[in-house]
Structure formats: C-alpha cells, structure tokens
C-alpha cells in the first residue's frame, strides 16, 4: 500500500493463478472508493539463458512514489527451469498513469538456484531508490541503490539476518531529510541492529558501524520497522517476547537523531502493562508533518479461546517519543479471532491509512487546518474541520474542504470543489472560467485573463479581476464586483448588488425568465454601482438610463427611458421597441428602434428627436418639437405643439392626431414629397373626413382642394400652394371656419391621394 502525493492511494499485488500471475494495481480515491484497477504491463526483461524469467511476478510487490511523481515497483519473481527455481527481486519504473518506463532491472542478478527476496523500498529526496533484500542461500541481508538514471550501486552486505520462520521480513529501510537513509535488520532471534547509509561518489553508498536497537534480554525480537521524521531523525519500532510477569509479547519504540544516536529510551508503545495488557504484536510507524509520528500496533486486552485476542490500535507521539493522545482502536473488536496489522501510510492531506486483516481504515488525527498544493496531475484531497487552504495545481482536481472557512485555488474549469450545507463560508480563487458547486459562497478571479464566473443558489460574493469578466450570480441575493476591465454582470434571481468597478461595465439580464425593469438612476430591485450599460432579456424589458448609459434590450418589446447622454442599441428582429426621452435625443444611426417619443404628453418644453437609419415612429409632446427622420420609412406625430417635422429620405408618414388650434398646434413639414410621403389624419379630430382604419383609408377626391379656402361644401382639406398652408374645414363653404394644422413647402403637386384617414 502506498499513499500518493495526489491524495489517492495505491495497492500493488498479483492477480491470476500460477503460472499465470500478473502484477495488478488498485487505485483508491481519497474517500476510500475504488478509482481504477488494472493489470500492469511488465516489459520483456528476460536474461540470456533465462528467457521469460520474470513472467511470474509472484511474491510481495511493493511500491514507492518518487519525488517527480513516477512510481517505482519492486517484486520478487520466480520461474521453475530445468528442475531449478530461480528467485530474484526486480524493480520497475512506472509513470503516474502506471505505464511502464523502460524495462525492469534486477536488484540482484538471477543465477541458477538463487533465492533472493526484496523486502523494503524507499526513495531518497533526489529520486534514488534504496532497496533491501535477503538471500536465503547465504543467510545475509543486503541493500542496494538505484540512481534516477537507473544506474545500480554495488550491493552492501548487512550481515546475517535470521527469521523466526521462513519467509519472514527481516529488514526495513527509510529515507531521511538529509539525503541519507537508515536500514534496520533482525540479525537473529534476540538481536536487532541498524545502519546509517550515507551517499558516496559515483552513485554508491557506505554503511556505518551497526548500532543496537534493543538491549533487553528478551529471547525473541522481531517485526523491526523504521521511519524518518520530519526535520531529521528517525524512530524504530519492534516487538519482543515478554518475561515472566510481563505481557506475552510487547511492542516498543525508540527515537534517534539523524546521526543514529538514541535520543529517547526504548519504551513500550502501549500505555498499559500486564495484566491489563495481555500482548502487543507487530507494529508500523509513520512520520507526521509536525515532526511527531503515529504507530499502529496489535494489542490484546482480552483472550479468545485461551490466546490473546489482538486488535489494531493507533497511538500518536511527538518528536521526542512522548504520547500526545490516548490510543484509538482502528479495527473492529476482536470477538472470534485476532485482527492483524499489515501496513500504515500517511495520506497527502494528513490523514492516516491503516491496513489490517479486516480491510482499510482511514483515520483523521489532524487537530489544525491544512494548506495543500497539488501535483501536476489530477488530485483528490479532503480537508479538516478547520479553515483549510487548497491549491490543486495543474490537472483536474477534486478538493473537499469539510467544515471551516476553506479557500480553494483552481486552475481548470473541471476542478471539483466539494462542500456541504452549513460547512462555513468558503472561497474559490480561480484563474480560469469557473462555476461554483453547491454550498460554496465566494468566487474571486485571480490574474488578468478575461474569464467568466458563475455562482450558485446561495447568496454569493463574486469578484472579477483586471480582465473583461462575465459574472453570473445565479439564484440568491448576490454581490457581484467587476473590478478592473469592461465587465458584464448578471445577478440572476434575487435582489443583487452589482458593482461594475472600473471600466465600462454592463448589467445583463440574459438569464431572466421574464421581462425585467431596471433603473440605473436608482429605485427598487437590484442595486447598481459603477454600471454604464444594461443588456436585456429575451422578454419585454423596461430600462431607465443614467444619462450616460448604453442600453441594449435584446429580444422582446422593450421600453427605454433615456436622458440626452444615454445610448440605445437594438438589432433587427428583436421586437417592437420604444425609446421615451426626457428631452432632446438622437438615436444611434444603426439602432433598430420602432418608436421614439418624448416623455410627458402635456410638456411645454421644446425638444428635438433624431431618428436612426431604420424605420422610426416619432411621437412629440405639447411643446415645440423638432422631429427629424433620417433614412428609412418614418412616421412622425408632433403632438400638440407647433412642431418642425423632417421625414428624411424614404417613404415617410406625417400623423395629425391631436386637437386642432389656430395658433398652438400648427406643424411645419420641411421635406414632404408627394411622390413618396403621405399624411394621416385621425378621424376623431378630422371628423368630417369619414371612416378611418389602422392602416388608413383615402377620403373622397372632391374633399381636397387647392387654394386659399374651400370652394364648395364638400371641401375638407385645403392646400394653399402659394404659402404651403394646409387647412381643415369641417363644412366647406359653410359657416364654420377652416383651421390651419400644417405648413408644407410651396407649389407641391399635392393631391387627395397623399392623405389617409386613420
């Protein structure tokens, strides 16, 4: 079992039946779920005369992660050949994807009758491998180094190594912070010893004189384990048979400095003594980030069938070997049979993996927040109940903070941040476009790239960077801050605070499910700060500008209330849109605005309206207005004042639909062209012209006359071509006076065909 730096953990073993054994790997996620399993490819590495020697990698595969993320796997393999069994250890290098990198190399050259077994593997900080092995033929243990380029050092003889039974593991090796290593050996039944291994030139190493690990008189000592500690030094654990009046077996530990000198006395791992402690068996030890260490060991306080019933317990110690907490049982209770420890590993996020005969138990000893930076691959980390900080690094990562106010740095859109309800106020810092997962409150852009940020159902605080960001709040009452750059903010549902910051910033309502009303000058609803423009929904929106805003409604029949400095943008086929101006106003030349009118029907303040290059309908108010169409087929209705009307090019329509007055409602049409333009008269005002319709109905030709006055009782519309005056006479030559309602250019070829009743 090997904990990997990306937060997962790896098992290597064998699969199949003899003689078709294969190396197999199982990778588990940080939560203990199975991520993947695969048969490992073992490239052809037979030796001359022993073809296919290692096609049966059958015995005790072990793995260690190298500093660069590659994985080294060592195993002992055998093949019966001509009546002789070749047994030899090999080591292979695999990528993080478990694809082989080159052919495996022999730890010891296999020869006929060889019986060499790999026992332990460790990686030094420069990537050098240290592998210990035993030779059952000569009874010695050995250690050998493999440099990062694959070069193999000479084998270093650790002397005699004897086991309690055939096949028992007799050695263990660990790397130290200073680049050296420690090897421990069970020399014989009652003697344990250790060596300091120091690097020497040309990829080799030298061994120190052996140091004794236990000086007790116990007749049986075994299960020796060693691990290097953070900040230097190491700790050794082992088990001994008890003397009369002592536990059947007991487990011990001793702490050493980086030179191999003991800094603590040998002491029992368990805090219990006989008769409360019946037995303590095999142990394993690992270093903790704070310089202390954890020990898992087999412990019996009761009997099963007359023998001690072993359970697996975990104990935590500081760097000096002082216990810092009570034992924790990490296996089930031993009721019918003992439970045996296999291995202990420290996960990248600080939790502990305990592998025993019942399975794997993940234990969380962490008592403070963690700060983790991921690998270049895909990581999976799980946080504490405190305020953790995660930086997944490259790759697509899964980061789970748990309780506490956690901070996540993400750099891939598919990075997963996992939080649950009521687990603190959490923040994601991102350099790429990113959408918050559920139960995360804050999202902040880093760097200067133009990226998109998307919130969730909570009340989010979302902040942009110096780029042109798009911020989408989603549901909830969100606070969106654009920062520098020209940003687009969409608060989504809820009552939001939208702060554009620097640059030219828009609020967008593209996510709205119905028409919206938004006022940049203030009012109910969302709060706008530093917003220069509004972008509408696909429905009927009502926008009020600030006097210097850019308003773009999009689809739907939109209405814009604007001041002189506001700009309205509409594209074609986006509904029938209206601009209501508080005073003089000019449309943008390309604006597809159908209606342009002045606010306040009874206003007496004169104003000017200028249309766009599309078909506009102008509506004035009670003041003296100037309405100016450009290109396009425009419709101009001046209102009740003495207005100046310019149709521009195109087929323009001039509408008269307000009460007539001899002095106060006489419009001047400056560019009427009978060839293209027409006049529409409201029959509620021009009541003697007959019926009207929405599209207009021509009146009888004899109702139109040119001259200064009506010539018979049927005349209703009189055009004085000498002055350009246009009159309405309700009874022709009757007693009622004619009323001037417009002035056209003189000498136009005007006829009844130019008029329609509406």
Structure pTM?
A: 0.85
Residue 15 lies in a domain: yes
Closest to 226 in 3D by CA, of 160, 287, 178: 287
Q: Is residue 161 within 8 Å of 140, Cβ to Cβ?
A: yes
Question: pLDDT (tens digit, 9 = 90+) per residue, 452-471?
Answer: 999 999 999 999 999 999 99
With a CB cutoff of 8 Å and minimum separation 6, the contacts of 40 are 12, 22, 23, 24, 25, 73, 94, 98, 100
Reference 31, options 346, 502, 381; nearest CA is 381
* Among 320, 51, 4, 341, residue whose Cα is nearest residue 169: 341
CB 40 within 8 A of CB 24: yes
Alpha-carbon distance of 396 to 398, in angstroms, equals 7
- How many distinct helices (H) and strands (E) make up the chain? 0, 69
Q: Which residues contact 51 (CB under 8 A, 6 or more apart)?
A: none
**pLDDT at residue 204, rounded to an integer:** 84
Q: Give me the pLDDT at residue 410, please.
A: 97
Note the pLDDT of residue 698.
96
Residue 57 lies in a domain: yes
Other beta carbons within 10 angstroms of residue 16's beta carbon come to 13
Q: Is 105 part of a structural domain of the chain?
A: yes
The three-state secondary structure class of 557 is coil
Token couple for 518? 């938004």
CB of 740 within 8 A of CB of 656? no
CA distance 488 to 500: 8
* Residue 82: per-residue pLDDT: 52
The CB density around residue 368, as the number of other CB atoms within 10 Å, is 12
Q: Name the domain boundary from 417, 440, 463.
A: 440
- Phi, psi values for residue 107, rounded to 5°: -70, -40
Would you say residue 338 lies in a domain? no
DSSP symbols for 480-524: EE--SS--EEE--SS--EEE--SS--EEE-TT-SS--EEETT--S
The CA–CA distances, whole Å, from 742 to 560, 623, 645, 679 equal: 30, 15, 10, 11
* Domain containing residue 66: 1-114
Query: CA-based angle 525:529:534, to the nearest 5?
Result: 70
Q: Which residues, other chains included, contact 138 with Cβ-Cβ below 8 Å and sequence gap of 6+?
A: none
Q: Please state the domain count of the chain.
A: 2
Q: Which residue matches tokens 């082989």?
A: 100
Distance CA 169, CA 702 (A): 122
Smallest CA-to-CA distance from 54 within 82, 83, 25, 75 is with 75
Which parts of the chain sit beneath pLDDT 70? Answer: 19, 44-58, 79-85, 164-167
Instruction: Share the mean pLDDT of the chain.
Output: 93
Q: What is the DSSP letter of 112?
A: T
Neighbours of 648 (CB within 10 A): 18
Q: What is the DSSP letter of 177?
A: T
Q: In whole angstroms, give the CA distance from residue 459 to residue 313.
A: 45
- Residues 237, 254: Cα–Cα separation, whole Å: 7
Residue 632 resides in a domain: no
Positive or negative: CA dihedral 612, 613, 614, 615 = positive
> Would residue 755 count as lying in a domain?
no
In a domain, residue 77? The reply is: yes
Residue 521's pLDDT is 86
User: At a CB cut-off of 8 Å and minimum separation 6, what does 458 contact?
Assistant: 439, 440, 441, 475, 476
- CA angle, corner 295, sides to 289 and 298, nearest 5? 160
Beta strands in 575-675 (DSSP E): 578-581, 585-586, 595-598, 607-610, 617-619, 625-628, 635-637, 644-646, 653-656, 667-669
| Within-domain flag for 671 | no
What is the DSSP code string of 446-486?
-SS---EEE--SS--EEE--SS--EEE--SS--EEE--SS-
Which of the listed residues 84, 114, 144 is the one where a domain comes to its end? Answer: 114
CA distances from 259 to 262, 287, 567 (A): 9, 17, 78
User: Tokens for 568?
Assistant: 């309205």
β-strand 171-175 against 533-535: which pairing, if any?
unpaired
Task: Give the three-class secondary structure for 703.
Answer: helix
- Boundary of a domain, candidates 411, 440, 469: 440
Task: Give buried/exposed letters for 44-56 (b at 16+ CB in 10 A, else e).
Answer: ebeeeeeeebbbb
């Amino acid at each position: 079992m090997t904990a990997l730096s990306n937060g997962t953990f790896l098992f290597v073993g064998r699969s199949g039946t003899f003689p078709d054994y294969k190396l197999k790997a199982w990778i588990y996620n940080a939560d203990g779920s199975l991520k993947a399993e695969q048969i490992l490819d073992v490239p052809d590495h037979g030796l001359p005369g022993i073809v296919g020697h290692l096609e049966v990698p059958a015995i005790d595969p072990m793995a260690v992660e190298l500093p660069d993320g590659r994985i080294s796997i060592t195993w002992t393999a055998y093949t019966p050949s001509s009546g002789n069994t070749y047994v030899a250890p090999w080591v292979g290098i695999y990528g993080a994807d478990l694809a082989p990198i080159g052919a495996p190399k022999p730890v010891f050259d296999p020869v006929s009758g060889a019986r060499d077994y790999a026992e332990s593997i460790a990686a030094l900080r420069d990537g050098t491998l240290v592998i210990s092995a035993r030779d059952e033929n000569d009874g010695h243990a050995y250690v050998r180094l493999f440099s990062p380029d694959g070069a193999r050092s000479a084998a270093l003889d650790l002397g005699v190594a004897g086991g309690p039974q055939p096949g028992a593991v007799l050695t263990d090796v660990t790397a130290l912070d200073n680049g050296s290593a420690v090897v421990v050996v069970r020399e014989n039944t009652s003697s344990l010893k250790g060596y300091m291994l120091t690097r020497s030139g040309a990829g080799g190493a030298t061994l120190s004189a052996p140091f004794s690990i236990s000086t007790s008189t116990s007749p049986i000592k075994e299960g020796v384990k060693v691990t290097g500690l953070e900040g230097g030094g190491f700790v050794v654990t082992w088990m001994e048979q008890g003397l009369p009046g002592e536990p059947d077996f007991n487990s011990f530990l001793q702490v050493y400095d980086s030179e191999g000198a003991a800094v603590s006395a040998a002491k029992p791992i368990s805090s219990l003594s006989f008769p409360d402690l019946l037995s303590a068996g095999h142990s394993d030890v690992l270093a903790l980030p704070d310089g202390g260490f954890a020990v898992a060991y087999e412990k019996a306080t009761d009997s099963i069938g007359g023998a001690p019933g072993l359970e697996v317990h975990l104990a935590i110690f500081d760097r000096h070997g002082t216990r810092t907490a009570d034992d924790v049982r990490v296996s089930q209770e031993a009721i019918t049979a003992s439970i045996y420890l296999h291995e202990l590993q420290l996960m990248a996020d600080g939790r502990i993996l305990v592998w025993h005969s019942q399975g794997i138990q993940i234990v969380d000893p962490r008592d403070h927040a963690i700060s983790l930076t991921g690998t270049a691959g895909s990581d999976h980390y799980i946080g504490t109940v405190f305020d953790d900080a995660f930086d997944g690094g490259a790759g697509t990562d899964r980061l789970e903070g748990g309780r506490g106010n956690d901070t996540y740095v993400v750099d891939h859109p598919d990075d997963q941040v996992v939080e649950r309800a009521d687990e603190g106020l959490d923040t994601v810092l991102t350099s790429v476009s990113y959408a918050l997962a559920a139960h995360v409150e804050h999202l902040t852009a880093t760097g200067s790239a133009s990226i998109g940020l998307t919130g969730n159902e909570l009340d989010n605080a979302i902040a942009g960077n110096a780029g042109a960001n798009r911020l989408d709040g989603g549901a909830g009452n969100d606070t969106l801050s654009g920062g520098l750059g020209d940003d687009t903010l969409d608060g989504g549902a809820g009552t939001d605070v939208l702060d554009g910051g620097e640059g030219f910033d828009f609020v967008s309502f593209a996510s709205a499910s119905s028409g919206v009303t938004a006022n940049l000058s203030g009012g109910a609803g969302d709060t706008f700060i530093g917003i220069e423009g509004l972008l509408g929904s696909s429905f009927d929106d009502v926008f009020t500008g600030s006097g210097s805003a850019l308003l773009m409604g999009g689809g739907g029949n939109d209405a814009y209330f604007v001041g002189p400095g506001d700009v309205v943008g509409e594209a074609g086929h986006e509904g029938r849109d209206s601009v209501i101006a508080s005073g003089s106003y000019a449309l943008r030349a390309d604006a597809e605005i159908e209606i342009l009118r002045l606010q306040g029907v009874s206003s007496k303040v004169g104003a000017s309206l200028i249309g766009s290059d599309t078909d506009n309908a102008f509506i004035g108010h009670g003041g003296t207005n100037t309405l100016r169409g450009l290109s396009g087929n425009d419709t101009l209705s001046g209102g009740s004042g003495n207005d100046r009307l310019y149709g521009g090019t195109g087929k323009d329509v001039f509408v008269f639909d307000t009460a007539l007055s001899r002095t106060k409602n006489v419009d001047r049409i400056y560019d009427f062209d009978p060839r293209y333009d027409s006049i529409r008269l409201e029959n509620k005002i021009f009541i003697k012209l007959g019926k009207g319709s929405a599209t207009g109905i021509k009146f009888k030709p004899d109702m139109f006359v040119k001259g200064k006055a009506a010539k018979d009782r049927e005349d209703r519309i009189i055009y004085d071509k000498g002055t350009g005056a246009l009159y309405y006479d309700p009874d022709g030559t009757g007693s009622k006076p004619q009323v001037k309602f417009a002035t056209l250019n003189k000498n136009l070829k005007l006829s009844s065909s130019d008029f329609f009743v509406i």
